[in-house]
Amino acid sequence: MSIRLAPSILSADFSALGRDIDAITRGGADQVHVDVMDGHFVPNLTIGVPVVRSLRKATSLPLDVHLMITDPDRFIEPFIDAGANLVSVHVEVLPHLHRTIGLIKKLGAQAGVVLNPSTPVGAIAEVAADVDFVLVMSVNPGFGGQVFIPRSLAKIRAVRALLDAAGNTTAPIEVDGGVDLVTVAPVVEAGGDWLVAGQAVFGAGNPEAAARALKDAALHAARGGRR
Ligand code: DX5
Ligand code: ZN
């Protein structure tokens, strides 16, 4: 599985998104992580379809849209029409998760399912063969800049085992929350493939250098680690 860096624009400068995306592109970002929050499922509001449509014009990188909203089924088509390439939905709000995964794929995007820190891995057992990727939340969603929850490492391993047992050996695991230069190596060693990072990329003033350093650390861990 190849490593991908997915900077989260949640911590970017919203008045200069084009500039910030150019910077992370130069720094080696592989996809742009877009955090959509509705003030219901999570206690914060962010951005919606029009911003994704504008981002589509600003970058050729895949747009990785993480829907932290109570009714994702209503918005999947508008987000994909606007240019989302990857769409991830939370298992906690979807009674018909299998149908939702099918809808995302039918509309031409890659389908991811997301697990909150308190959601057991078994919640995705019945769809493990169907997903294109799994997103493990390593903080409680809602805000950037939170501290990585150490228990997430065991969860990443358990998700890998579940996907492999279902025969879905090629589905990557995305890890989101508190990924930085300290936590990235253990995350990669545990089986994290796609690394979301907000504060670690945009928090220190030079997103290009920060993205490059984080990606280098991830690649180094993937080469030298236990995977
Ligand atoms: C949290 C979001 C994350 C967040 C990550 O609710 O889903 O994508 O922006 O930010 P950091 O890397 O700062 O924890
Ligand atoms: Zn996210």
Mean pLDDT, to the nearest integer, of 197-213? Answer: 97
- Assign 210 to helix, strand or coil: helix
Sign of CA dihedral 32, 38, 44, 50: positive
* Lookup: tokens for 159: 């998700």
Percent of the chain with pLDDT over 70: 99
Would the pLDDT of 1 be above 90?
no
How sure is the predictor about 2, in pLDDT bands with cuts at 50, 70 and 90? Answer: very high
Instruction: Tell me how far apart the alpha carbons of residues 217 and 220 are, in angstroms, rounded to a whole number.
Output: 5
According to DSSP, the residues that pair with 35 across neighbouring strands are 66
- CA nearest ligand 1 atom 4, residue: 144
Would the pLDDT of 27 be above 70?
yes
pLDDT digits (tens, 9 = 90+) for 86-127: 999 999 999 999 999 999 999 999 999 999 999 999 999 999
Would the pLDDT of 226 be above 60?
no
Is there an atom of ligand 1 within 6 Å of 66 CB? yes
Report which ligand 1 atom has the smallest distance to the Cα of 199: 13
Instruction: Tell me how far apart the alpha carbons of residues 150 and 132 are, in angstroms, rounded to a whole number.
Output: 25
- Please check whether residue 21 is in contact with residue 211, taking contact to mean a CB–CB distance below 8 angstroms: no
Instruction: Tell me how far apart the alpha carbons of residues 187 and 40 are, in angstroms, rounded to a whole number.
Output: 29
* Lookup: tokens for 73: 């089924």
- Please check whether residue 185 is in contact with residue 225, taking contact to mean a CB–CB distance below 8 angstroms: yes
Is there an atom of ligand 1 within 6 Å of 200 CB? yes
Is there an atom of ligand 1 within 6 Å of 142 CB? yes
* Lookup: tokens for 10: 């949640």
**What is the domain class of 4-224 according to CATH?**
alpha beta
Pick from 196, 201, 202, 214 the residue to mutate for probing ligand 1's pocket: most ligand atoms within 8 Å of its CB.
196
Helix axes of 17-26 and 49-58: crossing angle, nearest 10 degrees: 50
Pick from 143, 148, 181, 201 the residue to mutate for probing ligand 1's pocket: most ligand atoms within 8 Å of its CB.
143
Based on the residue annotation, tell me whether 13 is a catalytic residue of this protein. no
- Please check whether residue 214 is in contact with residue 180, taking contact to mean a CB–CB distance below 8 angstroms: yes
Q: What is the pLDDT of residue 227?
A: 55
Mean pLDDT of the chain, nearest integer: 97
Mean pLDDT, to the nearest integer, of 154-175? Answer: 98
Domain ranges of the chain: 4-224
Based on the residue annotation, tell me whether 180 is a catalytic residue of this protein. no
- Assign 67 to helix, strand or coil: strand
Would the pLDDT of 73 be above 90?
yes
